[in-house]
Amino acid sequence: MKLHLSLLALPAATRALIPTGSKPVPPPMRVATAELFESQEPLLDTLSKKRRRRRRAPAAVDLAGGLDALPARSSGEASSRRGRAQMQRRDDAPLTTMGRRARRLRFAGAAPLHGWVPDVAQFCYGLPGALAPMGDFDPLKLSKQTISTVRRYREAEVMHGRVAMVAFVGFLVGEHGAHQVLDVEPSLTHDALLLKTPGLLLGALATVVGVCEAYRAARGWVTPESPEQVWEMRDSYYPGDIGFDPLRLAPADASGFATMATRELQHGRLAMIAFMGLVAQEYQTHETVSDSLAKLLA
């Protein structure tokens, strides 16, 4: 009796398919085929278009009441804005605290420094200086450090190379021209010439070097406000670019600047090795470079 009463609530077409005294038979399952999806595609397109229109439709805001008339942001929009702000703060973190952030290339959105933007996929973060036949020569893996450390290494390499080039020329000039300025013998070794140099001249030289180094530190380094910022370089400072170029030799284009920087690095590296050779030669033979060279060529 209960079964017959429940069947009365079903449509006539469905009651005709169910025999009396048996359980209701479920309708056959439809297999998901390409034809089925094609038949439902207009309906899906209509629904998606309606959703897009609802998202793009701007809310009508009456600005007559000022900022108070603006609708309040939803919690989801506020949280997304907070997330973007946090990501921006992380991207703006200093170089010394980057760590894994270096792999996200926070310099990608910054202005390039003479055309250079750090790239973790390249040798030495893309800094110029590699030249055939040595290529990417780094047996001590110094270029695998953080980008902040690599920039300090490049700064030290450039400055030591410049000092070595000047010292190499000064080494030879001192042997042949110092007696014309100072009251010394024409041929003195470097140590003997240094001992004969007046203290006032050495003090003036030390003062000039100190002023130059103070200017370089103010231009390239952040004023430390904590112990972690003592060795932190400015983001806008290219290693070695102290702004001193009276002859306008630095090219304006990125490719030319990289080529010029590579030449300077290679000459500086050679000058550092050559200067160490001059000092070692004098300590070994106790003769000037000119006398030793004259003996070799005789």
The string of pLDDT tens digits covering residues 246-267 is: 999 889 899 999 999 999 999 9
> What pLDDT does residue 28 have?
58
The predicted-structure confidence for 151-166, as pLDDT tens digits, reads as follows 999 999 999 999 999 9
Give the Cα separation of 125 and 106 in Å (integer). 13
Q: What local confidence, expressed as pLDDT, does residue 272 receive?
A: 97
Q: In the chain, what are the domain boundaries?
A: 147-297
pLDDT (0 to 100) of residue 48: 55
73, pLDDT greater than 90: no
More confident residue, 174 or 2: 174
Cα–Cα nearest to 151, from 218, 221, 100? 221
143 labelled as ligand-binding? yes
- Asked if residue 64 has pLDDT above 60, the reply is no
DSSP 59-85: PP--GGGGGGGSPPPPHHHHHHHHHHH
- Residue 30 assigned to a binding site: no
C-alpha to C-alpha distances, 37 to 32, 40, 45, 170, nearest whole angstrom: 7, 5, 12, 85
Q: Which residues of the chain form beta strands (DSSP E)?
A: none
Mean pLDDT computed over 111-139: 87
Under CATH, which number does the domain 147-297 receive? 1.10.3460.10
Nearest to 241 by CA among 162, 136, 148, 147: 162
H or E element at residue 279: helix 254-285
Q: Which residues, at least 6 apart from 261, have a Cβ–Cβ distance to it below 8 Å?
A: 114, 128, 129, 240
List own/partner pairs for 132-135 with CB under 8 A and 24 or more apart. none
Q: Is 157 annotated as a binding residue?
A: yes
264 in a known ligand binding site: yes
pLDDT, the chain, mean = 75
Q: Identify the band that residue 286 occupies on the pLDDT scale cut at 50, 70 and 90.
A: confident
| 292 marked as binding residue | no
> Dihedral, CA atoms, 142, 143, 149, 150, nearest 10 degrees?
130
Give mean pLDDT, residues 24-33. Answer: 55
pLDDT at 99 over 50: no
Token reading at 292: 């030793």
Structure tokens at 137: 């020569």
Q: Which of 191, 182, 126 is nearest to 154 (CA)?
A: 126
* Beta carbons within 8 Å of 107's beta carbon, 6+ residues apart: 117, 118, 235
Q: Is the model more confident about 157 or about 15?
A: 157
Q: Is 6 annotated as a binding residue?
A: no
